[in-house]
Amino acid sequence: MITGRFKFVGLALFGGALALFASLGAAPALAADTQVAVAANFTEPAKEIAAAFKAKTGHTAVLSFGASGQFYTQMAHGAPYEVFLSADAERPRKAEQEGLAVAGTRYTYAVGRLVLYSKTPGLVDAKGAVLGSDRFVKLAIADPAAAPYGRAAVETLRKLKLYDALAPRIVTGSSIAQTYQYVATGNAELGFVALSQVIGEPGGSRWLTPATLHAPIAQQAVLLKTGEKNPAARAFLTFLRSPAAVTIIKRYGYEVRP
């Protein structure tokens, strides 16, 4: 025969077990995924930020990388991205104007730097004078119509009055990631890439392009209408401003505006 005291203990243990199972079952429901379109130049910092974001919040940022212009075209045709980390300010602004983004969520998360880079030590000098020489056959740049770093490269060459002369030697990547691959694999002896792509690369040679030679590469983020009701999407944009994220962004050579 079970006494009242044992009945009470048994019920208490049973109730505690139910509470434990309920809490274990509820925990994953609190976490969510968000689809984030990321400009190719921001690939490595975005991966680190996403990992820190998951550790901090439990949410998962599912990252897709590519050219900002291509992303915008996809979003305009219904692609389910919820957060857009562009390589420029133009497309997030356009997304806001055309009703694809949530008004008031757009801001500059990083200011990028352009670099003339080669895997060959000594090929690129400290002033970029190699551009006016015959020491290379191919110069890689990103597609200026789709990638802001490509547009900055064209602006730089025009400012140096070298664009027309070098046009026959230019090979164009669909994104800054493909542009870097052209240089890394030797398909082009040198190319204009993002500082973030080569800041940790040993060897080679590079010229940090003066910011006066092209318009600022202000990279803006915005919450898209598709993510307006997703707490994970809003949380990711908030985390992108956090000291932890800003530390990562600066480590890759970007400037961060206050």
Confidence of residue 31 (pLDDT cuts 50, 70, 90): confident
20, 140, 200 from 184: Cα distances, Å = 53, 11, 14
243 has pLDDT over 70 = yes
Tell me what pLDDT residue 30 has.
76
End-to-end Cα spacing for the chain: 72
Residue 233: name the closest of 36, 63, 96, 79 by CA.
Answer: 36
Instruction: Give the pLDDT band (50/70/90) at residue 6.
Output: very low
Q: 155-210, pLDDT tens digit by residue?
A: 999 999 999 999 999 999 999 999 999 999 999 999 999 999 999 999 999 999 99
| Cα–Cα dist 154/148, whole Å | 10
Q: Which domains does the chain have, with CATH numbers?
A: 31-111+216-251 (3.40.190.10), 114-208 (3.40.190.10)
Q: pLDDT over 70 for what percent of the chain? A: 89
Q: pTM score, two decimals?
A: 0.82
**% of the chain residues with pLDDT over 90:** 85
Q: How far is CA 237 from the centre of its chain?
A: 12
Q: How far apart are CA 106 and CA 96, in angstroms?
A: 8
Query: The tokens of 80 are what?
Result: 């389910």
> Model confidence over 65-118: pLDDT tens digits?
999 999 999 999 999 999 999 999 999 999 999 999 999 999 999 999 999 999
Q: What is the pLDDT of residue 15?
A: 44
Cα(258)–Cα(252) distance, integer angstroms: 17
Q: What is the 3-state secondary structure (H, E, C) of 16-51?
A: HHHHHHHHHHHHHHHCCEEEEEEEHHHHHHHHHHHH
Higher pLDDT, 95 or 10: 95
